[in-house]
Amino acid sequence: MIKNNSVFFIEKESVLFEKQKTMSLRTNTRVVLIDGCSLVMQGIEKLLNTLPFSLNIDNHSQNNNELKPVFTGRKIDVVISGLFGTQNDILNGLDLLNKVKELHPNVKIIVITQIKNTRILNFLANMGVDGLISCDESLDEMKDILTRVLQRKEKRIFSSTIKSQIPCLEYNTAINVSRLSCHEIRVVGAFLKGRSLHEISTFTSRSLKTVSHYKRSAMRKLGVQSDAMLLQYIEIIVGQRVG
């Protein structure tokens, strides 16, 4: 009888703990939406409002001047973006992701995209997103992934369409795709904007050796072996010639 009471007590405490976690999530989670299309933001916000959480949701355009006070202000838990879905946003996206991660190292980033190119999807995965969702998914699957990211139960989550387009993600979402660090993102972004390594060294206040190391490390993670290949890689993503 004592044993049964002990089991009951443990189960009761476990349920209470789960309820406390849920209540914390309901009241303390701040979500920032970033996208150039107001219709997309409205749709995402409506979808979030169908989830069983009371979230503090902030809608913002992709204008960096408007976003700066948002990201330098109070704590942010989750950033949801369609920022990478258009051709001209990729370089700005590199800078923005770098700034967000630097200011909020523990922030969760979710990208909702129409992109189907495997190389681009790998690129987005390398940028360190926590959730990558195809616009082709059902609303139920989108809601499921948003819920799982918000609950912070898994490291990285990809929708079924994304996983079918990047087969290696199907079997190990924890994952073999290396993330680019904030320093690597910053260096690669500056390089792709036409700055030399010497200029990047001055701009970042890092030694030339360190900047070169970041660039080589990023290239290795992206699977390219030369500057020309790196530029070609981004040209494919951006859809236009860089520089």
- For residue range 27-75, what is the model confidence (pLDDT) as tens digits? 578 898 887 667 777 888 899 999 988 798 887 755 555 666 677 777 8
Residues 126-182 have pLDDT tens digits of 677 888 898 889 989 999 999 999 887 777 889 999 888 876 654 343 333 456 777
Lowest mean pLDDT among 87-96, 97-106, 144-153, 167-176: 167-176
CATH fit for domain 182-238, picks 2.160.20.10, 1.10.10.10, 3.40.50.620, 3.40.50.300: 1.10.10.10
206-232: per-residue pLDDT in tens?
Answer: 999 999 999 999 888 877 888 888 777
Q: What is the CATH number that goes with domain 2-171?
A: 3.40.50.2300
What is the predicted pLDDT for the residue at 95? 65
HSE, side-chain direction, 13 A CA sphere, residue 152: 10
Domain boundaries, the chain: 2-171, 182-238
CA separation for the pair 219, 149 (Å, rounded):
28
CB atoms within 10 A of CB 218: 23
* Residue 9 confidence (pLDDT): 46
Residue 93: predicted pLDDT: 65
Q: Who wins on pLDDT, 129 or 11?
A: 129
Amino acid at 243: G
pLDDT of residue 23: 44
- Contact (CB, 8 A) for 216 and 197: no
The count of other CB atoms within 10 Å of the CB of residue 236 is 12
SS3 at position 201: helix
